[in-house]
Amino acid sequence: MTIAHDERGADGHADAGRTTGQVAVDTSVPCDDLAAVRNRIGEVLHTCDEGFVLDVQLVATELASNACDHADHPRHLLLRREVHPERGPELVVEARDATPHRTPVVGSSSVSPERGNGMTMIETICNAWGVRQEDGGKVVWGRIPIP
């Protein structure tokens, strides 16, 4: 589900949340080594539930991979904790890139017919996901509930 501009909270996501100031990962996306992104997330979240860590790694890798496959440099990945007044704590995963006109489509891929399941997985794992335009680029984001 992509959130229309006028339905977003003040932070550009589906609902207004409160950023706790805890940023887990803030890095450039190494398109030639997405395993490094997964490893970094595993290191940072090593004290968390294993299922949660695997979900975060999957969402982050899918968003980063989409940025690598479909968008221009620079590409940037950010993970940060927010607290939503009704849903509770969430980890927001954001992938920024420099291609505002190319947005993800659930269940479809321009790379090959065998691909196109990444956004379906993100839609399943995340409380919400969406796209926002920002300074000549875009941010694709997903909110993962923190157990």
Angle at 90 between CA 115 and CA 137, to 5 degrees: 55
pLDDT > 70 in the chain, percent = 73
Q: Please compute the mean of the pLDDT values over residues 84-89 and round it to a whole number.
A: 86
Longest dimension (CA), the chain: 41
Highest-pLDDT range among 29-33, 54-58, 81-85: 54-58
pLDDT tens digits, one per residue of 101-145: 887 766 555 555 565 577 888 999 999 999 999 888 999 999 999
In the chain, the amino acid numbered 20 is T
Please tell me the number of Cα atoms within 13 Å of 11 on its side-chain side: 19
Cα distance between the two ends of the chain: 23
pLDDT at residue 15 tops 50: no
- Measured CA to CA, the distance from residue 96 to residue 1 in angstroms comes to 18
For the entire predicted model, the pTM comes to 0.79
Q: Taking a C-beta distance cutoff of 8 angstroms, is the pair 13, 3 a contact?
A: yes
Domains along the chain with CATH numbers: 5-145 (3.30.565.10)
Looking at the predicted structure, is the pLDDT value of residue 9 above 70? no
